Chain A
Amino acid sequence: MDIEAILKQMVAAANDAVEGDVGEITDYAKQIVEQQKQSLEELAKARISGEIDDDVFEQEVEREKQVVKAQLLAVQIMTEAAAQKAVNAAIDTFKNAVKTII
């Protein structure tokens, strides 16, 4: 039983399983930051120009926090889903390797 070879196969299988996910999660995280930046800039301009008062400004800041929270929850789900795929791919590889030996 070549344990090192099996471990390498498991790592390779886990990597293959999440190949596209890492980039997708990173891109979405960047998009969240950019959207939040734009949203807060728009809010600051509206307050400075007097389009909204202090109360509305405060309410909108709190609201923006909730929107970003919903987006970060999506990142968490995407990450957990990717982890699930990686672990299952590694376990499958391990099982197949053991079966081959038996």
Chain B
Amino acid sequence: MSILQNMAIKHKLILIIMLACITGLFLAGAAFIGWERNTCRDGMVRNLSTQAEMIAENCKAALAFQDAQDAKETLQALHVEPSIVFGCVYNKENRLFTSYYRDYAEIKVHPSKFQEGGFSFADGFLTVFKPIVLDGQTIGTVCLRSDMSPMYAMLKRNISIILIVLFLSSLAAFLVSSRLQKVISGPILSLAEVAKAVSGKKDYSTRAIKQSNDEVGLLIDAFNEMLEQIQHRDLELVDAKNQLEVRVEQRTAELTTANEQLTREVAERKRAEEQLRKAEERYRTQFEGALDAIFIADAETGIITDCNPAATRLVGREKSELVGQHQRIIHPPEVIAGEFSNSFKEHLREKQGLTLDTQVITKKGEIRDVAIKANLLEIRGKKLLQGIFRDITEHKKAEKRQGQLLDQLEKTNQELKDFAHIVSHDLKAPLRGINTLVKWISSDYADKFDEEGQEQMNLLLSRVDRMHNLIDGILQYSRVGRVKEEKTQVNLNELMPSIIDTLAPPENITITVEDELPMIECEKTRIIQVFQNLLSNAIKYMDKPQGQIRVACMEEDGCWKFSVADNGPGIEERYFEKIFQMFQTLRPRDEFESTGVGLTVVKKIVETHGGRIWVESKVGEGSTFLFTVPKRRASVEEEKLLVSLNA
């Protein structure tokens, strides 16, 4: 088969045609020979049977009357048929009755086997047996033998004729097919030539010539179409190639630029890395040298990954004992909830960057208070929590001591206040008794006292009064810190006239309110007390025939600044502080009845309201008392008003 595959197409065609021709002829010849042989044999059998029949008929009587001679004579008639080489007649007992031979030795052609009837081919002879029937009874058998060689000779001749015909036909078929195969192979070969040329020279403009309208013609059409497409593609390819070159150049240029950029970037990166390294070094230095302990732990697992010397000092463990351990080991059990310590959890949750107070435990089991500030860092995709621990154990202790001291002070203060209150309160009762008693004595014994005695009695009474006032002042003062009134919105404009009315100033003194006074939030009775005290002082010490007192108010630094100014005697500057101290008066007691408590109470009230008080004065010209009240919780309306005023 591979031989057939490698053959040229024209040889294949010739071979196929030849094979078909020869096979057909050979089969026809074989059939003819076979048929001829059979016909011949049938003819011979029929012929010989007829002969045997005739012999049988003629030998009937001879056999019936045992006349062998007559039978022999009958058999002699066979000599006219040259192919019959032997004939004989058997009697009823199948014994040889008579026989006939033609020029051959008896034994050579003697039938080997007796048969009742029929024929057989053997050893190149046809043997026919025919029974001799007389009146329905078999009385003997005729046997004839015929030589087959003439038939075989004829067959041989026929075979040789057929072989000659076969040879001649093959020759003719070869000649015809050699010429006719070009009809099929010609176009294919030319197509192959074109294909070869195309593939060899890469010349896609070549076209195969169509010679017929059969399948080969279709093939050529398809081939040409294919070539056209290839040509088209080829052109496109060339274009694409050119474009590609341009593009490659562009890309190369881009690449070069990119490369340069990359080099720059690399350099920059190196620089950055250097900086980073330095930064890291700096960080490391800071980390190592920090006074505060720094722990770095994995945010997810809580395993400590790094710590600085301060940290080892803080918990009293070596670095090797800490790194790789869970952060729990540095905290006492009380501050650990679940997996992590409270502070660790909280820092992770939302309090990152906040300072939280907690405790750590040293290796020896010593508990230390620490303040921790922690930040979440992300280094190489890993979340780390950096915690900076400051040991606040000493600070805490100090704070505690301070608190204790403060408490003590408060307590002492309170005791003192209570004491003042109790003392003044309790002192008032005997004093009242003394007063009553003095009054009784001076009235009951008025006739018994002389003038001097009377005067002494009056003096006693006034001293008791003063005593009473002093105690009242102290009581008031102590009440300021002790009793707290609820703060309300107070409209000073409404309040001021009633205050002035209560004071009932003499006619030579005029009190003017210069500005619109604001609404302030304060303890109402206290603020009344302030104004009362300041105004009463101004009235009391007025030395001019025409007294002028002005109340004013202005806004300053988020505070209301009130001023009460008079044209009284004025105060020397060295007394500016002293006047606000308790029991301090600038005049002798006997000249002006004064307890020296008023301004102290005022100062205390102002200060409890978050303000401050001071005085400005010139001796002989008058003095101005100024105090502030924070605007802090001024009403919304007030603010709106202010905004509109400012606008």
The yes or no verdict on A and B being binding partners is: no
Could you list which residues of chain B lie within 8 angstroms of chain A, going by C-beta atoms?
A: none
Could you list which residues of chain A lie within 8 angstroms of chain B, going by C-beta atoms?
A: none
